[in-house]
Amino acid sequence: MKTLRTFSLAMSLLAGLMALPATPAQAAEADVRALQECIRQSTSGRDRITSARWLVSALGSAPQLRDVARIDPDVKRDLDREMAQLFTRLMTVDCLNEAKPVWTSRDPAEMQAAGGSLGEIAMQELFTNPETASAVSAYAQFLNEEDFAALRN
């Protein structure tokens, strides 16, 4: 049962990488903020790239995205291993004191909020690359300003 609880809390944190920020209970916000800040301060550029690569591999594994992204199962397994090592280090070494109150609360919203900060900084790391920023904004070439006229009124 303990393994299941650990897995569930870990999945909540990692789900936060991919989800919109969850809203933890007000009393827990300070604990979550402390863990988020520790995660931000404790991750290197390499850690952030690992997180981003893992996130892309996880999302790319979705059947709806298979025509856009091809994920090599061996690469995915390696990224899962790297992400597990990063998660373990952050929760049990670098941010142990900040992680304890969030972990023991067993509140998935708190873990998701903390995980969201890891996803956020991972994406920020990618967006520092001009090629990435350009690729993300490329859809704008197909926008028609007149279609948004109603927003100006």
150 within domain boundaries: no
Determine the 3-state secondary structure of 118 from DSSP.
helix
CB 113 within 8 A of CB 32: yes
CB 36 within 8 A of CB 115: no
Interval 91-142: pLDDT, tens: 999 999 999 999 888 888 888 888 888 889 988 888 888 998 899 889 989 9
133 within domain boundaries: no
> For the chain, how many structural domains are there in total?
1
| pLDDT at residue 136, rounded to an integer | 87
CB 94 within 8 A of CB 42: yes
113 within domain boundaries: yes
Determine the structural domain holding residue 42 and report its residue range. Answer: 2-17+31-127
Give, in order, the Cα–Cα distances in Å from 34 to each of 2, 116, 122.
Answer: 25, 13, 18
12 within domain boundaries: yes
67 within domain boundaries: yes
| pLDDT at residue 109, rounded to an integer | 84
| pLDDT at residue 14, rounded to an integer | 52
Interval 4-47: pLDDT, tens: 444 444 444 555 555 544 455 555 789 999 999 999 999 999 99
Q: How confident is the model at residue 51 (pLDDT cuts 50, 70, 90)?
A: very high
107 within domain boundaries: yes
Better pLDDT: 7 or 85: 85
Enter the pTM of the model.
0.74
What tokens appear for 43 in the block? 């991750």
